A = this chain, B = another copy of it.
Amino acid sequence: MIWVQRQITFAQRPRGFHLVTREVVEALPELRELRVGVLSLAIQHTSASLALNENASPDVRRDFEAWFDEAVPERASYWTHTLEGDDDMPAHVKAALLGPTLTLPVSNGRLALGTWQGIYLCEHRDRGGPRAVVATAWGEAAG
């Protein structure tokens, strides 16, 4: 059994959906040693999230932002938690909808993703600051 656990810190990004697959893989060279295993990612924040979606067209990520802004509007009449800014409470809801974790298969030293899948760091705040993700990988060592 191999166990790896490491915190990855992502530099501040603008509000929106950002492709970070390469950054994740480069932070975890030990994945190459796993014949079969799992990588579990958990973001340590409540107004940013992780998702897995289309890795090719930037307009897909732009449309994600458009839909979420429409579905979870700022300054809606039902928000009471407004002290931390108009973008704060919507960010909490968006983060919970997409979720704080991803649990991904590792196969023969690589993430077993589909051809079009990429890891998104979803920044739901206007100025969210750097974001910390705990990466935990475990599995059976390659022969």
Contacts and interface: CB of A to CB of B under 8 A. Distances in A.
Nearest to A90: B67
A54 B46 contact: yes
A24 interface: no
Given A78-B67, A80-B59, A93-B67, A136 B45 contact: no
B70 A78 contact: yes
Q: What interface size band does chain A fall in?
A: 35 or more
Contact of A92 (B54, B76, B98): B54
A105 interface: yes
A82 B79 CA distance: 29
11 contacts: A5-B107, A37-B136, A38-B136, A45-B116, A46-B114, A59-B81, A60-B81, A67-B76, A67-B78, A70-B76, A101-B102
